[in-house]
């Protein structure tokens, strides 16, 4: 299987995207939503082309960095320690594009800089109901031991991707005869579905505020079996036209700078990832989904997106029905209030919400 190295706007020392840059026509959000909900097309077959963030939105990203960069830096260190404990005989980072990609880049540098561990880093596609890109997995396994693989994402919300990882790796074991543990490593685990997490708090991970301009100028992944060759990787768009506005390298350098300070101060040197109560987190997640579905007449849990990260995705990329906030004045959700106002999405404040935010997707009568 041949590949042309593709690093997006990162360097080869950061990541190798196992994605195929393609061109794809723009599908406006309202049309995309109708096609998804009618079952006529899967979300991975379409893309609403991104625009640069508005000038008055971008400062919210920098504010999020100021408020959360130290917590994120500490969590990267804790996650690195958790990975070292789980993979003592070698590490291959496999980040799940694209929210996981910046996390994988940070981990690669932290492992080398502070623990003297050289880890290769690949970023690959995993799509709900489609699965993980098995061609990408086969490519990795040409050079890397299957026991070294570490699947990295930024957060879990409902656990959909964690469950998709499990089913995809089970299918891979059946097709290729290679068993890879379905273990997910994340910064924060809201749903109790990760093998290792640095936190279970619904906090604002600054990279979640932006799209391609903090993720190597790469779109979310795409897959259309009607247009994909048997050996192709899943696809992506590369937003070359945004190069002058790219913050991907800034984000990495800024967080690594904070990691340096935290490491030097020994603030987290002797800490290890916390042991989460997974059953409790899973119970909270299920109770929340049932409660919100009943309260708002939601017909499918796919239309409920818990947590700051997922709520942000809805407001950036989908047709939102309602934004739910735990606290209207929280700094952690200021960008969500901006997006809701910009897109005329109503806000409901629910003080006993188990997460700081959630978003509901508008159901379309078809």
pLDDT of residue 365: 72
CA-CA distances (angstroms) from residue 206 to 144, 257, 305? 31, 15, 18
Q: How many CB atoms lie within 10 A of CB 24?
A: 16
Asked whether the beta carbons of 195 and 142 are under 8 A apart, the reply is: no
Query: Closest by alpha carbon to 355, among 308, 323, 319, 314?
Result: 308
CATH of domain 278-361: 3.30.1330.30
Give the start-to-end residue ranges of the domains of the chain. 16-264, 278-361
Give which of 1, 4, 3, 26 is closest to 237, Cα–Cα.
26
Q: What is this structure's pTM? A: 0.95
Measuring CA to CA, which residue among 248, 290, 319 is closest to residue 106?
248
Percent of the chain with pLDDT over 90: 87
**Measured distance CA(346)–CA(84) in Å, rounded:** 44
pLDDT digit string (tens) for 349-360?
Answer: 999 999 999 999
Could you count the other beta carbons within 10 Å of the beta carbon of residue 57? Answer: 15
Find, among 38, 43, 114, 41, the residue nearest to 74 by Cα: 114
Q: What pLDDT band is residue 3 in, cutting at 50, 70 and 90?
A: low
pLDDT tens-digit readout, 202-242? 999 999 999 999 999 999 999 988 888 888 999 999 999 99
Residue 2 has pLDDT above 80, yes or no: no
pLDDT digits (tens, 9 = 90+) for 125-172: 999 999 999 999 999 999 999 999 999 999 999 999 999 999 999 999
Greater confidence (255 vs 364) lies with 255
Identify the band that residue 4 occupies on the pLDDT scale cut at 50, 70 and 90: low
The answer to whether the beta carbons of residues 307 and 301 sit under 8 Å apart is no
Radius of gyration of the chain (CA): 19
238 burial via Cβ count (<10 Å: 0-12, 13-18, 19+): buried
């Amino acid at each position: 299987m041949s590949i042309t190295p593709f690093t997006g706007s990162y360097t080869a020392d950061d990541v190798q995207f196992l994605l195929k840059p393609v061109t794809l026509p723009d599908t406006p959000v309202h049309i995309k939503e109708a096609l998804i909900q009618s079952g006529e097309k899967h979300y991975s077959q379409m893309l609403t082309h991104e625009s640069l963030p508005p000038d008055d939105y971008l400062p919210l990203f920098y504010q999020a960095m100021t408020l959360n960069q130290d917590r994120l830096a500490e969590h990267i260190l804790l996650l690195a320690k958790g990975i070292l404990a789980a993979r003592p005989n070698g590490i291959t980072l496999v980040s799940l594009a694209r929210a996981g990609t910046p996390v994988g880049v940070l981990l690669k540098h932290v492992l080398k800089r502070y623990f003297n561990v050289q880890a290769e880093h690949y970023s690959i596609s995993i799509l709900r109901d489609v699965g993980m890109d098995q061609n990408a997995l086969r490519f990795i396994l040409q050079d890397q031991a299957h026991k070294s693989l570490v699947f990295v994402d930024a957060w879990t919300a409902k656990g959909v991707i964690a469950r998709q990882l499990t089913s995809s790796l089970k299918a891979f074991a059946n097709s290729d005869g290679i068993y890879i543990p379905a273990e997910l490593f994340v910064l924060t685990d809201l749903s109790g579905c990760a093998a290792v997490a640095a936190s279970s708090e619904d906090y604002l991970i600054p990279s979640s505020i932006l799209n391609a301009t903090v993720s190597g100028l790469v779109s979310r992944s795409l897959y259309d079996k009607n247009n994909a060759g048997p050996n192709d990787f899943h696809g992506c768009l590369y937003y070359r036209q945004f190069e002058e506005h790219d913050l991907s390298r800034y984000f990495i350098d800024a967080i690594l700078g904070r990691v340096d300070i935290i490491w030097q101060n020994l603030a987290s040197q002797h800490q290890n990832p916390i042991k989460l109560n997974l059953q409790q987190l899973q119970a909270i997640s299920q109770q929340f989904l049932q409660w919100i579905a009943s309260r708002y007449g939601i017909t499918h849990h796919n239309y409920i997106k818990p947590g700051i990260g997922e709520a942000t995705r809805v407001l950036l990329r989908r047709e939102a029905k309602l934004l739910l906030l735990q606290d209207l004045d929280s700094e952690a959700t200021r960008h969500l209030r901006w997006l809701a106002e910009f897109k005329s999405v109503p806000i409901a404040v629910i003080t006993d919400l188990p997460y700081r935010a959630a978003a509901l997707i508008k159901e379309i009568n078809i």
